[in-house]
Amino acid sequence: MNPLAVLMPGFEGTTLPAWVERRLREGMGGVCLFGTNVESPEQLRTLTDAIHAANPRAIVSIDEEGGDVSRLYQHAGSPFPGKAVLGRLDDASATQAVAARVGAELRAVGVDLTLAPDVDVNSNPRNPVIGVRSFGTDPALVARHADAWVRGVQSTGVSACAKHFPGHGDTSADSHHALPVVDADEATVRTRELPPFAAAIAAGTDTVMTSHIMVPALDADLPSTFSRPILGGLLRDELGFDGVIVTDALDMAGASAGRGIPAAAVLALAGGSDLLCIGTANTDDQMGEIAAAIETAVVAGDLDPARLADAERRCAGLGARHAEVRAGEAPHLDTDASIVPAASVAGTFAVSDAARAALAADRPRVWLRLEPAANMAVGASPWGPFAAGAAPAATLGPDGDPAAFAAAVPAGALAVIVGKDNHRHPWALDAIRAVRERGEAVVVDMGWPGDEAADIATYGASRLVGAALLELIGQ
């Protein structure tokens, strides 16, 4: 028994800390990389080589969803369209090609597992954490693209991870900060949330990620990450998934609030999870505490040693397979290829007749930027047209002055107000009203739009989507 074998922590910095190297040599199962670990492709490859030198079977994972959530491009903004744009394009071959390109880039820098695709059905437009990370609201559409994305990324030797089981799309809370509840009945969960996961499993996804949510229709007592009925009964027995079950980060409030990470780790293993994603800035002391808690739980009879052995076996098997993949020839990476042109991306935008009329007029455009707090999943990253070269005349956050924001627009100019999830933020709505009181404006929502404050909805804010918006708006 080696509890370290099921742990996948994160760490700070662009080089391998001594404690992580030591734990890897002791058999730690893997590491999860984030934007703070990435400086350049060359640096990242040096880092992953060091990880694999310490433990050849270590699984190196990263959150690279190919859109707003991008660790490879955290500092520049992603050149990929993102899931919601791909869903609106609804070309499975394009989705597969994007995923294959993502996989090839990850393979080139030594990453084994991408924590993607997000196959949640975004049925709640006020979902604060899924939104444009989802392919859409229709289960059949999401299932088609889940299949394509899994096949595309795994064609490169990089493992996919279908998330967040059994479906995080119908929530109005963020599991980074709270424990969301899906109140739908069992029939709705089965017909709405499960088809994309079934499609990903049929496509051969190597891993599935759990969600820190309550689904009382499936388990009234425990969050999905800890639930034997959900992970064992539904995912393993009914859907037939035989790969590695990965937890969402256990430092999230939905998992560890009120109980701590060591207790959450024990519950996750007992519930059927295999590879435990711990979080971001983890420490050696934390790994020791978690390993000790797992050992104590086995001795006390709270964790079946056979369950721990099964998790270790699954993680070791995936790690060994990736060691073989790394020894083989990597796929060709055509860095000049444009998989989804900006013009095709712009064709997926929802544009009102009023916006088209305003843009048809020959007059100066003035860019205004609404800057909400960064989504925890996305992190701080350049976004939209501002990542693609547009310079805003003014930027407004939650504590800004709407009047000063509006005053940045010269007389006779068309204001182009760009934000994300505008309808969620009263301060953003106030700013939009202030600008419109002074003159004509086109409002762009680069998140998942609501029922107001979106003359143009782009369904994503990656750098590529921003470039497509620049082409549409003009200068």
Active site residues: 176, 248
Q: Whose structure tokens read 């959900």? A: 230
Judge contact between 294 and 308, C-beta under 8 A: yes
| Signed CA dihedral, 460, 461, 463, 469: sign only | positive
Q: In angstroms, rounded to a whole number, what is the distance separating the alpha carbons of residues 42 and 47?
A: 9
The three-point CA angle 206-112-382 to 5° equals 110
Q: In angstroms, rounded to a whole number, what is the distance separating the alpha carbons of residues 102 and 100?
A: 5
Q: In angstroms, rounded to a whole number, what is the distance separating the alpha carbons of residues 3 and 291?
A: 5
Nearest to 97 by CA among 143, 136, 151, 163: 151
* Angle of the 41-54 helix axis to the 92-108 helix axis, nearest 10: 70
Tokens representing 169 are: 């799309």
Q: How far is CA 362 from CA 316, 359, 473, 474, in A?
A: 62, 8, 11, 10
Q: What are phi and psi of 215, to 5 degrees?
A: -125, 85
Q: How far is CA 412 from CA 103, 149, 237, 266, in A?
A: 47, 46, 64, 63
Nearest to 10 by CA among 315, 380, 261, 273: 261
Phi-psi region at 52: left, alpha or beta (left = phi > 0; alpha = psi -120 to 50): alpha
Residues 6+ apart with CB under 8 A from 450: 125, 126, 421, 422, 423, 424
Q: In angstroms, rounded to a whole number, what is the distance separating the alpha carbons of residues 390 and 318?
A: 44
Measured in whole angstroms, how far is the alpha carbon of residue 380 from the centre of its chain? 13
DSSP string, 343-386: HHHHTTSEE-HHHHHHHHS-S-EEEEEE-PPPPTTT-S---HHH
Q: Whose structure tokens read 């270790």? A: 312
Tokens representing 244 are: 């590695």
Q: In angstroms, rounded to a whole number, what is the distance separating the alpha carbons of residues 207 and 62?
A: 13
